[in-house]
A and B are shown apart, each in its own frame.
Chain A
Amino acid sequence: MRLSPDAMIFWQYGFLRLNATIVFTWGLMLVLAIVSKLITRRLSMELERSRWQNLLEIVVTAIEKQIEEVGLSQPRKYLGFLGTLFLFVALSALCTVFPGYQPPTGSLSTTAALALCVFVAVPLFGIAEQGVGGYLHSYTKPTFIMLPFNIISELSRTLALAVRLFGNMMSGVMIIGILLSITPFVFPIVMTILGLLTGMVQAYIFFILAAVYIAAATQVRKPEPEPEAELNS
């Protein structure tokens, strides 16, 4: 039994190897890019608009609202990164309805790459928001003793992000594979439907955790509200 789509090799030449993970990742990227390009080619500001534009607007505003609710007051700045993460993970889970498809997120390399993107993006957004000194100073909060623990948590949460997504997607594929050999007709379909649900939940969780990490890194210390002003007014 294959543990990941890495083992499914389409084409090999020397050390160059084209496995299912790469093929399906690029396929998803092409689908996302081409569909977005096609829809945004004819955007209308009028009351009458195409149904595809409506769909895209629903998706974008929903993502934007979620980012804002996490605590990032300017969601437009992070929409590109976080929205892409969500759409990629969600689409890679949703496409499991097509036979012969294997979710690329069921491979540890893909999820590790996504988690590394978050690992790199969090300090970049943090530095952009509060400067190098301010961001580095946030590691010594609340006291200087917490410095090593903050660094460890930075690393361990990246590992957790990668392994969580990998484990969930891989377990879905694996359970369907095991059930196919025991009860071939009904239960694999039920588990596929359950897999669609867990895939969406995992996409949401990956996205919301990345947003929470970025929100924690970009938090600028706001001035304390003055209680006297409250009393006088």
Chain B
Amino acid sequence: MDSMTIIAVASIAIAGFATGFGTLGPALAEGRAVAIALTSLAQQPDASATITRTLFVGLAMIESTAIYCFVVSMILLFANPFWNHAIAQAAGK
């Protein structure tokens, strides 16, 4: 295998792994957060405004870790710097 094939294979595989495993943790965490928020909403409906706002902010914080993984895999797939470097090397030869 030449270097470009290795770069392509590694990028595609790692992009899949990054999104797959990167969304695993946030998914569990968000499910837990929503479940607990629903429990407290059922117990205290009066505090629904505060609970909902805090839940949204917390969900955004949790979700951003998944978004980081997604952005990294998108960069690997569509704007790969190593791939561009290899192309430039091959063109310069």
Query: Measuring CB to CB, which residues of chain A are less than 8 angstroms from any residue of chain B?
Result: 1, 3, 66, 69-70, 160, 163-164, 166-168, 170-171, 174, 201-202, 204-205, 208-209, 212
Complex: how many Å from CA A66 to CA B75? 36
B residues in contact with A164, CB < 8 Å: 60, 63-64, 67
Main secondary structure on B side of the interface with A: helix
Given A3-B79, A69-B49, answer yes or no on A205-B70 (Cβ-Cβ < 8 Å).
Answer: no
B56: contacting residue among A3, A166, A205, CB under 8 A: A205
Closest CB of chain A to B16's CB: distance in Å? 14
What are the interface flags for B65-93 relative to A under an 8 Å C-beta threshold, 1 for contact and 0 otherwise? 00110110011001100000000000000
CB<8 Å pairs between A and B, sample of 27: A3-B74, A3-B75, A3-B79, A66-B53, A69-B49, A69-B50, A69-B53, A70-B53, A160-B64, A163-B64, A163-B67, A163-B71, A164-B64, A164-B67, A166-B71, A167-B67, A167-B68, A167-B71, A170-B71, A170-B74, A171-B74, A202-B60, A204-B56, A205-B57, A208-B53, A208-B57, A212-B57
The reply to whether A209 and B78 contact each other, CB–CB distance below 8 Å, is no
Q: For residue B61, give the distance in angstroms from its CB to the closest CB of chain A.
A: 8
The total of interchain contacts (Cβ-Cβ below 8 angstroms) comes to: 45
- For A69, the chain B residues whose CB sits under 8 A away are 49-50, 53
Residues of chain B whose beta carbon lies under 8 Å from any beta carbon of chain A: 49-50, 53, 56-57, 60, 63-64, 67-68, 70-71, 74-75, 78-79
Chain B nearest CB from A199 CB (Å) reads 13
State A1–B60 Cα separation when bound (angstroms): 27
Given contact pairs A168-B67, A174-B74, enumerate 18 new A-B contacts (beta carbons under 8 Å): A3-B78, A69-B50, A69-B53, A70-B53, A163-B64, A164-B64, A166-B71, A167-B64, A167-B67, A167-B71, A170-B74, A171-B67, A171-B74, A201-B60, A205-B56, A208-B53, A208-B56, A212-B57
**How far, in whole Å, are A202 and B60 apart by their CA atoms in the complex?**
8
On whether A205 and B71 interact (CB within 8 A), knowing A3-B78, A3-B79, A69-B49, the answer reads no
Assembled-state Cα–Cα distance A164/B70 (Å): 10
